[in-house]
Structure 1
Amino acid sequence: MSTEESEALQLLYPPHIQHNTNSLHTVKFLSALFSGAAAGILGLENFSGFALFLASTLLTTSGIWLVKCKGRPQKYLHGGLGPLLNPGQDNLFSFVLVWTLFYALVHVYD
């Protein structure tokens, strides 16, 4: 690790970084749930549903990056852009769960 990186890490306050990371996970989780519900209600199947998940993840990431991080995620999150772009395995599973639930509830007699 270079001295510039270590000096930049010393400026980060760990409780704030932890709070920002927890908030990011919560927002991404809710985004996955709502996009799963939308995919199920719309009756999307196969890759079109996963395309909606990818689009919602990218839209959420760009919104957080532009609005909350003001284009500088390394100031607010440890790892910079990496944690923002990572959709998270648990979010993918939650998306699929809600997707199949809403698909089954809405399109049960199709």
Structure 2
Amino acid sequence: MSGAPDDAVQRIFGPNLLHNNNLLYNVKFISACFSGAVAGVLGLENTLGFALFALSTLFTTSILHFVNFRGRSKSYVQGGIVEVLNPGQENVFSFILVWTLFYGIVHVYD
């Protein structure tokens, strides 16, 4: 029976999946921190800052999907493009932390 769902699950090599998930988490974290720093330095407030976060998440997802995963994210990450697009709660909090930090550092006397 080729093409059965059990066959696809059996072909997943655990250490590779764990490594890919760790790298994906690191890229998402760094992207969230950089976008938070940019939002803080630019002095963005409220929805503009979160719009920048959404745009950076979409940009990071598209680069990962088309460049790193060659358009086949399902082959590299369990969950496919949905897992790559999900920023994760901890990355949202990291974005907000870095955003407020840089906003406070740069715009303290405005």
TM-score, structure 2 length as denominator? 0.95
Per-residue CA distance 1:22-69 (angstroms, 9 max, x = gap): 000000000000000000000000000000000000000000000111
Alpha-carbon RMSD: 0.9
Query: Aligned AA for 1:85?
Result: L
Aligned to 1:71: 71
Distance 1:78 1:59 in 2: 20
Aligned length: 108
Structure 1 spans left out of the alignment, 5+ residues? none
Q: Which residue of 1 aligns with 2:100?
A: 100
Q: Distance in 2 between matches of 1:63 and 1:5?
A: 29
Q: What is the rounded CA distance, in whole Å, between the counterparts of 2:32 and 2:58 in structure 1?
A: 11
Q: Which runs of 5+ in 2 are unaligned?
A: none
- C-alpha distance in 2 between matches for 1:8 and 1:47: 42
Provide runs of 4+ in structure 1 moved above 6 Å.
none
Alpha-carbon distance, 1:4 to partner? 2.1
Structure 2 distance, partners of 1:38, 1:83, is: 25
CA distance in 1, matches of 2:29, 2:5: 30
Normalising to structure 1: TM-score of the pair?
0.95
Q: How much has 1:6 moved relative to structure 2? A: 1.5
Same amino acid, percent of matched pairs: 56
